[in-house]
Amino acid sequence: MKLTILPEIRDALAANRPVVALESTLITHGLPRPINLETARNLEAAVRASGAVPATIAILRGEIHVGLTDTELARLANTDHVRKCSRRDLPIVVGMQADGATTVAGTMIVAHWAGIRIFATGGIGGVHRGHPADISADLTELGRTPITVVCAGAKAILDLPLTLEVLETNGVPVIGYQCSEFPAFYTRASGLPLDVRCDTADQIAKIIAARDAQKLTTGILVTVPVPESDELPRALADQAIAQAVTEADAKGISGKDVTPFLLARVTELTAGRSRTANTALLLNNARLAAQIATALQNHG
């Protein structure tokens, strides 16, 4: 299988220097233009500023790219109808020579192929509210691919208790970074307890190293609350989410369109306040992922 890996990333991996994978569905389906491109660039810069090499993952005309040039990043951010790629979609986009943006699930798979161990994103997919059979492929992938995903929890557009249950079933350790409750993306807490709290990147690296020594192939989820200064008021977030979920049900939106619809609608309903939170937590997660990737160098 062919991977197109940017030389800088290839060199870093060969020299065992820290690399952080970044997803592309948030660029094509998660954020509107033009802040999608701006955010993608800022995320790469945040990883660099924290001492690691960023690797944004996407499929361009059927080629699997690990790291995008700025021209490629800009093209992806401005292309319509890019396929959202989880596990089932990877053979389709490559076989059809199409463009694909990787979700958390898709990014984990490609990062693992490339030998990258850490990946930063905003929120993971989960179990949808009122639709317990709509379980994101992200949760399945976390159960089978040994990548550590740094996120701000899952948006409360999802059923958070059921999401944690599925992660437990799939054998995924869920770590709170400087927190003891599952963060709810726009808000810092959900009242749902986590498996363990770690206060340093080094502690997280030790858990990753232990998983590897045990030859377990499960992923690890690191959750980091949105910075306090950028948190959304709980009532505003809850109200916008409830309305968006009701609208999605009324419109009969299903399958892979549910998450993009809810994300866009919540942004509208919070009049851009959710955007500040979203950007802040993404940068925060990218920085922590770079610190974990760096700490991992001392733990095999």
Instruction: Identify whether the C-beta of residue 98 lies closer than 8 Å to the C-beta of residue 130.
Output: no
Determine which residue in the list 21, 22, 104, 226 makes contact with ligand PSU, applying CB under 6 A: 104
Instruction: Identify whether the C-beta of residue 106 lies closer than 8 Å to the C-beta of residue 86.
Output: yes
Q: Which of 23, 44, 141, 231 is catalytic?
A: 23
CA-wise closest residue to 270 among 159, 186, 155, 190: 186
Which of these ranges, 67-75, 133-141, 198-206, 208-216, lies near ligand PSU under the rule CB under 6 A? 133-141
Query: Is residue 50 within the footprint of ligand PSU (CB under 6 A)?
Result: no
Query: Is residue 134 within the footprint of Mn ion (CB under 5 A)?
Result: yes
For residue 84, which phi and psi values (nearest 5 degrees)?
A: -80, 120
Q: What is the DSSP letter of 207?
A: H
Q: How far is the CB of 155 from ligand PSU (least distance, A)?
A: 5
The token pair at 242 is 């409830």
- Lay out the site mask for ligand PSU across 172-211 (x = CB under 6 A, - = otherwise): -------------x--------------------------
Determine which residue in the list 39, 50, 56, 103 makes contact with ligand PSU, applying CB under 6 A: 103
Residue bearing tokens 């409360």: 156
Contacts to ligand PSU from residues 11-40, by CB under 6 A? 23, 25-26, 30
What's the rounded Cα separation, in Å, for the pair 220 and 278?
22
- Identify the three-state secondary structure at position 83: strand
Judged by the rule CB under 6 A, the positions of this chain that interact with ligand PSU are 23, 25-26, 30, 103-104, 122-123, 125, 136-138, 155, 185, 256, 259, 263
